Structure 1
Amino acid sequence: MDSPGKAIIISLIITFALNIKSGNPMSCEASLFTSIPTKRCPRNELEWNTRAAIFNCSSINQTCVKPDKFEYHCVLNENVTGLVEVCAPSKHVFEQKCLHFHTGGKLIQESVINCSSGPIICPNAYRSSEAYKYQSCYEGVNHNEKEDNNCCQRIYPDKSEPIGNGEALMIAIFIFVPLCTIVTLVSICVFIKHNRKRRRLNRRNSGELRRPELIAI
């Protein structure tokens, strides 16, 4: 085999090895718009699947990966000072590292935090979509936050935000104005119907009073 051929093969092998080592990190613009801070990440598979169903990442329009590979994640933020829920391409994680979401790179990647200690130690390689199994990644952040037993109160996209006075007023207008209009129209119809009935009754009574006079004449 000639030298150029050997160089190409060696280059391909090195590239493949680096991709495996890095867990195939992939930048994805769509991830940036799904990132939401949260107080706590899911603690078990049921909570994780519940949040994944709410985010419905596979339905998001993106061209980074196949829809089934664009998955829900709950990871550290890039400063390792909080937690974020985000849709991102799933990946393999190596060297017992926790994950964080890098906003500049628009991807999830290994952080400086290890998950090599705790009740459940993470293996040397695991799927990013199974991060809920290794709660030690979140412990440092959770200790800085007041414990919240209701997982992930913010629902993508911000459906659980409190209603402000302006929104409450708009809701009241949209409910009560049509209701008042309907009541008014019904009242008018009832009044008209009752008025017509009274007029017919008056005409009938008036006719009955005239008839004896005509007979007498």
Structure 2
Amino acid sequence: MYLSSIGSLQLLVLIFAILWRTSNGNKPYMRCEASRSTLEYVDRCPKDETEWKKAASEKDCSAVRQNCTSRDNFVYHCLINAWENATVEVCATRVHIIGKCAEYNAKGAVVQQHERLDCKMFAHPCPDFYLSDKAYLYQECYTTVGKTTKITTNTASRMHGFGAAKGIACIVTIILLTIFINL
């Protein structure tokens, strides 16, 4: 009984650590006003690493004055917007994206996951976790641009914020703690 309790406790700590890392990985979902001044609408995003490097060099995000994150973490992005009706280039904080397409939310001045677009379901799926500045690797996210006719205010307000990961992590942690405390 004692050993199984220790094993259960270790498992709980491991699960909590993974969930904590996942939710804290999205901490940069906080507003970064400096990103707004770099926002440009573009006809298309880079299709490969060569195009991405060229566009990133031209955008020169390291020259942007900002206090949102470290200089190395304030990087070039080319993403869909929150309304799925445009692609945008922007210098913004690199964040972890969890199984969704990445978007730039201009109202929130933030790069975040697009809650409606699950890129794991595409013919060429994205991984469970990826960095937002690698969105060009998941080209199917861009094919949705212009195909959306309406996004409600409620949907748009849900899209901005810390994402679902933090809430899910808290709920799962509470459930697991309740289970293991009652052992």
TM-score interval w.r.t. the shorter chain? 0.5 to 0.7
Matches of 1:30 and 1:41 in 2, distance apart? 21
Is 1:42 equivalent to 2:46 in the alignment? yes
Quick check: which has more Rg, 1 or 2? 1
How does the TM-score come out when normalised to structure 2?
0.65
Aligned length: 130
Is 1:104 equivalent to 2:113 in the alignment? no
* Unaligned stretches of 5+ residues in structure 1: 1-12, 145-217
Change in Cα spacing, 1:61 to 1:24, as seen in structure 2 (3 Å) is closer
Matches of 2:45 and 2:35 in 1, distance apart? 17
| Cross-structure match for 1:141 | 145
- Secondary structure at the aligned position of 2:120 is classed as coil
Aligned-residue offset at 1:20: 2.7
Matching residue's letter, 1:91: V
- Secondary structure at the aligned position of 2:117 is classed as strand
Is 1:32 equivalent to 2:36 in the alignment? yes
TM alignment of 1:1-217, pairs within 5 A: 16=20, 19-20=23-24, 22=26, 24-94=28-98, 96-111=99-114, 112-141=116-145
- Please tell me whether the aligned partners of residues 23 and 92 of structure 1 are also in contact (alpha carbons under 8 angstroms): no
| Percent identical | 35
Aligned-residue offset at 1:21: 6.1
How does the TM-score come out when normalised to structure 1?
0.55
Q: Which of structure 1's runs of 4+ aligned residues deviate more than 6 A?
A: none
* Unaligned stretches of 5+ residues in structure 2: 1-16, 149-183
Q: Which has the higher contact order (CA 8 A, sep 6+)?
A: 2
Matches of 1:102 and 1:63 in 2, distance apart? 19
| Cross-structure match for 1:194 | none
CA RMSD across the alignment: 2.2
- Secondary structure at the aligned position of 1:24 is classed as helix
Change in Cα spacing, 1:142 to 1:120, as seen in structure 2 (3 Å) is farther
- Please tell me whether the aligned partners of residues 26 and 95 of structure 2 are also in contact (alpha carbons under 8 angstroms): no
- 1:129-180 Cα shifts (integer Å, max 9, x gaps): 1111100100122779xxxxxxxxxxxxxxxxxxxxxxxxxxxxxxxxxxxx
Matches of 2:29 and 2:56 in 1, distance apart? 20
Change in Cα spacing, 1:53 to 1:17, as seen in structure 2 (3 Å) is closer
- 1:61-102 Cα shifts (integer Å, max 9, x gaps): 1111111110000111121111111000001111x1011111
Matches of 1:92 and 1:109 in 2, distance apart? 8
